[in-house]
Amino acid sequence: MTIAVHTLAHSDDPAATRTFFGEVLGLAFVADDDSSEPGAQPDTDQAWLIFDTGPSELGVHPTAFAADGAVERAPRHHQISFMVDDITAATDEITSRGGQLVSRPTEFFWGTGVEVAVPGSYPVLVHQAAHRSASKR
């Protein structure tokens, strides 16, 4: 049945977004030759890149949850989140590669997370999980 999870990031500036995932987050990639223009360089709109995001897992979070004695609500949505072993080392590496943090590291009941700006698209969450992981690393 399912062999992998394929996430999508829609972008107003695909070349900048692809550069971010490759250079700032350091994700390996392959070019989709069927979609790319012949001879297209990876940092151009003509190159369609597929990034290796490694093992994956899917969590289902509630839209209503208790926080500080009150019920908080979040809209239904999907989110891309990159798991790391050490949030401090990861944020240091991301910023040293030119990445921009949108938030400070925040403690959640499920771990510590920080939002990172993605050029041409919405921010992604980078987090250090406090929960058991289902991914096969």
Q: How many CB atoms lie within 10 A of CB 130?
A: 11
Q: State the pLDDT at residue 42.
A: 63
DSSP conformation letters of 26-75: ---EEE-TTTSPTT--TTSTT--EEE---S-------SEEEETTEEEE--
Q: Dihedrals φ, ψ of 19, to 5°?
A: -60, -45
- Residue 121: per-residue pLDDT: 94
pLDDT in tens, the chain (137 residues): 777 888 889 999 988 999 999 999 999 988 776 666 666 666 666 777 889 998 888 888 888 888 778 888 888 988 889 999 999 999 999 999 999 999 999 998 889 999 999 999 999 999 999 887 887 66
One DSSP character per residue, 96-130 reads HTT--BSS--EEETTEEEEEE--TTS--EEEEEES
Q: Tell me, what's the pLDDT at 38?
A: 67
DSSP state of 133: P
Sketch the domain layout of the chain as residue ranges. 14-129
Per the CB < 8 A criterion, the answer to whether 110 and 65 are in contact is no
The burial class, CB within 10 Å (0-12 / 13-18 / 19+), for 34 is: exposed
CB 7 within 8 A of CB 34: no
Round to whole Å and give the CA distance between 18 and 16: 5
| CATH class as words, domain 14-129 | alpha beta
Rounded to an integer, what distance in angstroms lies between the CA atom of residue 29 and that of residue 54? 11
